Structure 1
Amino acid sequence: MEITVCIGSSCHLKGSRDVVAILQRLIDLNGLKDQIELKGAFCMGECAQNGVCVCIDGERYKVQGLNAEAFFNSEVLKRLHEKG
């Protein structure tokens, strides 16, 4: 699975650093380094939206630090369980 987090200036101001740190911690805690590739990308064209743009295998989501763990549990873990 590939997760891409926007780290462009707008998303940086919206907290992309926190989102990346939380996702990295959750990937590590769940032992998923071999199943998830966490990447950063500059502007993904969603600057006007609330939250940081995060893509999972090309599908876009808006994530904030406050809901990053819930996002991980509901979207990332769910997809991994569906594949497995």
Structure 2
Amino acid sequence: MGKQRFRPQESGAARPEADCRTTMQPPQVQNTLQKILEATEDSKNILRQEIGKVSAELGLLQTGHRKLVEKVDNAEEELN
């Protein structure tokens, strides 16, 4: 791959003229890039699922904590 030339965008930022996924590549390189992209998408989906699970667990912990705080508050009121 040669040097990439940059041209300014309207915002003034620079961007490459060609995306590496759309330039001509040998088939092996294209296949490797495709596998990397697919693995990246798979990883992102797995991470989204895990984030969902952790969020649900956090919600349960917050609910449990709130109930415990209420019980402690009630117990303190009964003692006073």
TM-score by length of 2: 0.27
- Pick the structure with more strand per residue: 1
- Pick the structure with more helix per residue: 2
Which one scores higher on RCO, CA 8 angstroms, separation ≥ 6?
A: 1
Which protein shows a greater Rg? 2
